[in-house]
Chain A
Amino acid sequence: MLKVRDLNVYYGGIHAIRGIDIDVNKGEIVTIIGSNGAGKSSMLNAISGIVKYQGQIEYEGKALPQVAHKVVQSGICQVPEGRVIFANLTVHENLKMGAYLRNDTKAINEDFGKVYDLFPRLKEREKQIAGTLSGGEQQMLAMGRGLMSSPELILLDEPSLGLAPLLINTIFEIIKEIKSMGKTILLVEQNAFKALSVADEAYVLEQGVITAKGKAADLIKDPKIQEAYLGKK
């Protein structure tokens, strides 16, 4: 579904992503784990077209345009790190923004229903200004907003960031539910254990280079990964 080949991202003189290859198959959860500054967000932003890159990104067999709104149009939506919700708009308006490029009113209304089923908290707070939501609710809103674009592929950037452990569990349950809705997910996480336990395939990104890849179920048992990312000796 998504094929990334020899991807390079530069910020001025800094070579943040150094020629990485990634494959995402339809219906899977693929995770990229790695520490702070490894280049995880840069990679997602390159796919989303908000960071300039060199290399090929192919989506459904076609080259992906390097323009952000055309990427969304193609069916890829990013739920960014730090949520980036519209704090000045209501919850409902935030979700409406997710459906910005769609004109099919009937299908949009159905998706409102689906998102509110998935996140009943958002339904309760429909008319509330999004800036007044708690951190966990804002994460749910960001994910719901992403779903409103009716994407085939969802790029999730650090959904667990800054959330309490119980909420993190809820968020990962929801990620599994989104997968069961038939969506494909590319998940970037620092919480390696959680990410590996929901993912099908996994990559380890270190300083802009892929240092390991494989089935998530295998990587979670790999002694080197356990030591570096799962805190086991």
Chain B
Amino acid sequence: MNVFLQQLINGLSLGSVYALMAVGYSLVYSILNFSNFAHGGVIMLGAYFGLYAMTLLPLPLLGGLIVAALCCGLVAVTLEKIAYSPLRRRNAPSLYFIISAMGASIFLENIVVATIGPTFKTYPTVFEKTAIQIADISVNKIDLMMFVIAAISLLILVFILGKTKIGLAIRASSYSSRGATLMGVNVDRVIFVIFMIGGVMAGFAGMLFGMRYTVYPQIGIITNKSFIAAVFGGLGSLPGAVIGSILLGVIETFAASSVSNYRDLIAFVLLILVLVIKPSGLMGKVVEDKA
């Protein structure tokens, strides 16, 4: 029982960081209808921004998180301006967006290899004692922090989307950006905001991931898993992205504890199974207008 609880907690914390990443994929997909594969590159940069903020400046943990989040938000928005905005103005098909995104992802990875180098780096120790003991269960402080930061960020996002005007505009644009434009929404601004939100969350996710494991230029690859989680939950649906991520994190952790070599295999088999049974994912869009 205790082992079970222990794994569940580990899984939840891993899943919540996947969720932070998956939300960025989902938000962009919901409005621009393409998978932003450069998102992994932004997450990778987040790990480096946080690392250098904490070692070079040096800032405390919270300062590092803020620097990583802001820098990633900025990178994501700039990326949109350079790589996607020109395509949008020409109404390019989504295939071109995906290729542009892949190009951007390779660019980001290589610029880090070229300037910082391909070596593995680690964060300075933040917590003296690494685990908290509750009864028989020991919880890694970093895991706990990952979960708390992810949960707070996601709650803030839910608030923004549900209760604010720009949130309403984002949801409306996700259904029809033409309709939103006709209502006076400046869709360029909506797109700026979603890339900013995705970038900020990528900054948190990248830094947390880097702290938990190590920092290296190919760290963006792990974001493939969060993309899987987003598809699994229903690409374009935010609750879907979060639920898909948590499920993936938990399933992966349990798989790793019993048959560790099959961990990634299980994730991909799961994705294929879900897509075969329900191609739109667990919570994919089903509403349509009757026009």
Interface residues in chain A, defined as those with a beta carbon under 8 Å from any beta carbon in chain B = 48, 50, 68-69, 72-73, 77-78, 80, 82-89, 93-94, 96-98, 100-101, 129-135, 138, 145, 149, 161-162
22 contacts between A and B (CB under 8 A): A50-B178, A69-B181, A69-B186, A72-B184, A83-B291, A84-B176, A84-B289, A85-B179, A87-B175, A87-B288, A87-B289, A89-B168, A93-B168, A96-B168, A100-B165, A100-B168, A130-B289, A131-B288, A132-B287, A133-B290, A149-B184, A162-B291
- Is B285's CB under 8 angstroms from A88's CB? yes
Query: In the complex the two chains form, is A88's CB within 8 Å of B183's CB?
Result: no
Closest CB of chain B to A147's CB: distance in Å? 12
| A135-B182 contact, Cβ under 8 Å, with A86-B172, A88-B285 | no
B175 touches A89 (CB 8 A): yes
Please list the 7 inter-chain residue pairs (A to B) with the smallest Cβ-Cβ separation, ordered nearest first: A72-B184, A131-B287, A82-B291, A84-B179, A101-B184, A87-B289, A68-B181
Residue B180, interface by CB 8 Å: yes
Q: A50 near B181 (CB under 8 angstroms)?
A: yes
Excluding A80-B178, A82-B289, A89-B175, 13 further A-B contacts by CB distance (< 8 Å) are A48-B182, A68-B184, A69-B186, A84-B179, A93-B171, A97-B168, A97-B180, A100-B184, A101-B183, A101-B184, A130-B289, A131-B287, A145-B183
Do A77 and B182 touch (CB < 8 A)? yes
State whether the Cβ of B174 lies closer than 8 Å to any Cβ in chain A: yes
* A132 vs B286: C-alpha distance when bound (angstroms): 11
Task: Please pick, from B169, B171, B176, B291, the residue contacting A100 in the complex, using a CB distance under 8 A.
Answer: B169
User: Is residue B61 contacting chain A, with contact meaning CB distance below 8 A?
Assistant: no
Q: Which residues of A have CB within 8 Å of B184?
A: 68-69, 72-73, 100-101, 149
Is the Cβ of B175 less than 8 Å from the Cβ of A86? yes
The distance from the CB of A134 to the nearest CB of chain B, in whole angstroms, is 7
Contacts A73-B184, A97-B183; is A86 near B171 (CB within 8 Å)? yes
Residues of A contacting B180 in the complex (Cβ-Cβ under 8 angstroms): 86, 97
Contact A135 B291 (CB under 8 A): yes
Q: Are B169 and A138 in contact (CB under 8 A)?
A: no
Q: Decide yes or no whether B142 CB sits under 8 A from chain A.
A: no
Cα A72 to Cα B186 with chains together (Å): 11
A71 closest partner in B (C-beta): B184
- CB pair A88 B290 closer than 8 Å: no
Q: Which residues of A contact B290 (CB under 8 A)?
A: 131, 133-135, 138
